[in-house]
Structure 1
Amino acid sequence: MAPARLSGRTLLTARWVVGHRADPAGGRGGHVLFADGEVVVEDDRVVFVGHGFSGEVARRLDFGNAMIAPGFVDLDALSDLDTTILGFDNQPAWKKGRVWPEDYLKAGPFEMLSEDDLVFQKRYAFASLLRNGITTALPIASLFYRAWGETRAEFEGAAAAAEDLGLRVYLGPAYRTGNQVLVGEGQIEPWFDEARGLESLAEALAFARDVDGTAGGLVRAMLAPDRIETCTPDLLTRTAAAAREMGIPVRLHCCQSKIEYDMVVKLRGMSPPEWLESLGFFGAMTLLPHATWVSGVPGIDRPGRDLEIIRDHGATVVHCPLVSGRHGNTIRSFTRYREMGLNIAMGTDTAPPDMIMNMQVGIILARVMDGSTACRSEHYFDAATLNGADALRRPDLGRLAPGGKADLIVVDFDRPHIGQQIDPIQTLLLAGHGRDVRHVMVDGRWSMFDGVIPGVDEAADKRRAQAQFERLMALYPVRTWGHPPVEDIFSSAYPVVSGPVVRGTP
């Protein structure tokens, strides 16, 4: 069961409140800062934001030197153990188990984790999202260690976990009709099994119809074809048609590497966005992580119209600066995409799922690309809130305004590392991190209060996650080119010297 709502009206106060002001001309409006502001919540809705609420309230909560803000919208939210960190210092990816070798494929890929493991991963990841102030999440997980795609059973477990923890989610098992396969040293080719992929699509559609709107609306459906190079035309056209019929978002990882881009051009005779346009794939809620390898960027010598296609069809670029930056990549750039009129929303896509850190890394990368005046703190804060809500066509999310959903976070500005404040948003992007989120409300319920998520044993969950992670690492040689021993796949920063285990109180 989701956390219980408080009865009656609750008035919240803090040094700063990030409210929302409507556009008189009918646009979406924008965030405003209320110094020593108030937020009043009743049931699942915000009823007042500003100063001097005159109505009756059942209780008052003053959070002092803190910021009350809308919860973050994460369109590419990590929902497993982050296997991408295994590639942080272990490259190239094809040599370190990140691409299936042909002999593993022929032998028959298998599930490397049990159903219980997969359900635990979702709950473990969802708790981490809440700790970092993410109130709306579209989960993403790796298919590298899966037999093929994600299953209905694990996503039924995910729906139950989201309801129990009080996290707003859009759920849909990932599916595909193909995969990248190593046929020689560093030689990657596509491989397809369309019949199997279409069966996975049918299962995903059945799940979407059953889950959409459950848990009092906390759980919604999405469709999640995995990556563009692993999809056939029939899979994508059926996906797009179903999404339009059901009115749900579709997320497709696209334009995220030169390998993917070149593979699509070779297979389809056009760029990834051009191919999607030719299929009629784009819809009202098309989400495209990561768009880091595209044509048509102003000032970048890569001629084409990829970005224009994405923009003109109203699709959203899901920007994940931390995971991209870890691998030496970024969009080129946030400022140029924004100036073109693209909707840029945010995803975390890695551990830690710290949206504040992602905004900080993003603004640093943008300024490295285009200079120190290229973008401002509020541009990234909009991307993590308003733009994500717009991508989902949810004007009741990503902002604190009367009538909107009571999805909010409280960020503690009394932490010693915060230092002196300019304004809360600039302060957040200079000195904050996800661990500064002290309280999280979703749908009018406290999903986390004073850093505690009810029913979650952090220490026990961390031990279980580490044990699962180590079992997964031990299986890597099975699906790594040449099947080297595990110690040759994963290096250590320095030599490891083992010794006796010493426990106890010093």
Structure 2
Amino acid sequence: MSGFADLPLGQQPKGRWSLKGRWIVADTEAGRHLLTDGEIVIEGGRILEIGKAGEVSAEASFNLGDVLIAPGFVDLDALSDLDTTLLGFDYHPGARKGRVWPRSYVERGPYEMYSPEELEFQKRYAFAQLLCNGITTAAPIASLFYREWGETVTEFEAAAVAAKELGLRVWLGPAYRSGGMVVEEDGTLSADFDEARGYEGLADAISFAERWQGDDLVRPMLAPDRVETCTKHLLRRTMQAADSLDCPVRLHMAQGQMEVDTVQRLHGMTAPAWLNEIGCLNARLLAPHATNATDDDLVLYRDAGVTVVHCPLVAGRHGGALQSFAKLRDMGVRLAMGTDTAPPDMVLNMVIGMAACRIVENDIASCSAANFFDAATTAGADALGRDDIGRLRVGGKADIAVFDMADQAMAPAIDPIQTLILGATGRVTRATIVDGRLSMRDGQVAGFDMAKARARAQRQFDDLVAKYPDRTWGHPPISEIFPPSYPYLTGGNHV
């Protein structure tokens, strides 16, 4: 009998091996259950047995003690860069804080603010952070605000390699667009479009997708950036390509007032209504965030089989909330979860999502811990067309997250799902296993130095922030774009 320390980091143990723990989330033909003092047997990348400890057979057994052994989270809007939305927390409006390009920057010529090596590093760092939070499947998302235009095939080939080396299951595709928002000299917003550039981005994305068809850990996804930056023809071609590739499409929409106003001005209706009109609303679509969706929009989502990707943390930071999780659930709208911001903490998102739902509904009984746990696991898997991830079942993939129920902050403990969510942090993730391989143990990711990476990430982010005057309306200094919460003490000041 062995414990955590004997699990081989970065490897699949040989033969039949098992994990024992105080709690296991077990998925059966009769539904989802909690198993106490259970054992789960794995061979290769598959689950062979789930049962009471000692009643199953394995060549090696690892007793993890007072833990919750659960399906790894499925994150359909997974942070994959150094999150610039943190700069929008206390600094607004975004159009005057570098979140929208000024006309002067566009005319001078946008440029890449990260080197290819920095782009590769930030995805590898972000993937490691996802693993540390119990996320085993991710559909990465990154900002285009600091890019020349869209994401590149080169960086996504590197991202695919990083996912395979670190041991993370991903749906990947470079983001592309036909246009972007611009702040004019008088401070008003307008949309600029370059249709040819959008088609080039789609062609690159299709080429990338074709190369990764059939891989087990890396699957293709098409990712047009935001609905207000895409034209009708680009989206129609995207959906046609997705049908040929049999892959999901993620498109951010119904997520903010700037988008609502822009789409209304361009198309005379809401984004979901426009997509429905042009034949692009269907069950392939993953649609973060729906915080600005109307009742009619939600009906369209439901009838088309669209999956709303709920990202409560980033929505709440920007003063928004889904209206509401309970309402969409009761309507029959498909609901999954995403992180979208730092920290990429699914547990934190679940507790904020629950609180927001209960506040919006003014009803403590409107949602439960189980509702959100299912949204973060089975619902995300279903949206990707998979019944072998997001759940722990015999024959399914061994994609597992292990949470410490004996953590000193987890007291008093009650039901393990409620205890995990009430704890409000994924930092109690002790281990993350993907495809039967231990990818993360106690904050350490196989083949990746987290401490050195954290220092490098901060330097890289600081260098990016220093460039913000270039792409901020009026080009003010950093001290005006991002003033401190309180004035700094200077040499002439005394306490």
Sort the TM-score into its range (normalised by shorter chain): over 0.9
Hey, what does 1:308 align to over in structure 2?
Answer: 299
2:319 matched to 1:328? yes
Hey, what does 2:49 align to over in structure 1?
Answer: 48
2:431 and 2:440 in contact (8 A); partners too: yes
TM-score (norm 1): 0.93
Hey, what does 1:228 align to over in structure 2?
Answer: 227
Aligned CA distance change for structure 1 residues 471 and 498 (closer, same or farther; 3 Å): farther
TM-score (norm 2): 0.95
2:10 and 2:447 in contact (8 A); partners too: no
Hey, what does 1:299 align to over in structure 2?
Answer: none
Hey, what does 1:257 align to over in structure 2?
Answer: 256
The amino acid of 2:279's aligned partner reads: G
Hey, what does 1:127 align to over in structure 2?
Answer: 128
CA distance in 1 between partners of 2:50 and 2:266 (Å): 53
Q: CA deviation at 1:184?
A: 4.2
Q: 418, 432, 437: which is aligned to 2:410?
A: 418
CA distance in 1 between partners of 2:430 and 2:82 (Å): 24
Q: 459, 463, 466: which is aligned to 2:455?
A: 463
1:405 and 1:444 in contact (8 A); partners too: yes
Q: CA deviation at 1:460?
A: 1.0
Hey, what does 2:477 align to over in structure 1?
Answer: 485
2:312 and 2:353 in contact (8 A); partners too: yes
Divergent runs of 4+, >4 A: 52-55
Hey, what does 1:346 align to over in structure 2?
Answer: 337
The amino acid of 1:65's aligned partner reads: D
Q: CA deviation at 1:45?
A: 0.6
- Residues 178-257 of structure 1: pairs in structure 2 closer than 5 A: 178-214=179-215, 217-257=216-256
Identity of aligned residues (%): 53
The number of equivalent residue pairs is: 482
- Residues 353-502 of structure 1: pairs in structure 2 closer than 5 A: 353-370=344-361, 371-497=363-489
Deviations 1:137-195 (A, max 9, x none): 00000000000000001001100100010000010000000101111444111110011
- Residues 146-157 of structure 1: pairs in structure 2 closer than 5 A: 146-157=147-158
CA distance in 1 between partners of 2:284 and 2:262 (Å): 25
CA distance in 1 between partners of 2:13 and 2:53 (Å): 22
Deviations 1:471-494 (A, max 9, x none): 101100001000000111012112
1:89 and 1:491 in contact (8 A); partners too: no
Q: CA deviation at 1:432?
A: 4.3
Hey, what does 1:273 align to over in structure 2?
Answer: 272
Aligned CA distance change for structure 1 residues 498 and 461 (closer, same or farther; 3 Å): farther
Q: CA deviation at 1:52?
A: 5.4
Q: Which moved more, 1:103-112 or 1:123-132?
A: 103-112
Aligned CA distance change for structure 1 residues 95 and 35 (closer, same or farther; 3 Å): same
CA distance in 1 between partners of 2:308 and 2:187 (Å): 29
- Matched residue SS, 2:139: strand
Q: CA deviation at 1:201?
A: 0.7
CA distance in 2 between partners of 1:114 and 1:307 (Å): 41
Deviations 1:82-122 (A, max 9, x none): 00001111111111010011111111111011000000000
Q: Which moved more, 1:273-282 or 1:398-407?
A: 273-282
Hey, what does 2:5 align to over in structure 1?
Answer: none
Hey, what does 1:503 align to over in structure 2?
Answer: none
2:444 and 2:450 in contact (8 A); partners too: no
Question: What stretches of structure 2 of length at least 5 have no aligned partner?
Answer: 1-8
Q: CA deviation at 1:498?
A: 6.4
The amino acid of 2:411's aligned partner reads: G
- Matched residue SS, 2:445: coil
- Matched residue SS, 2:281: coil
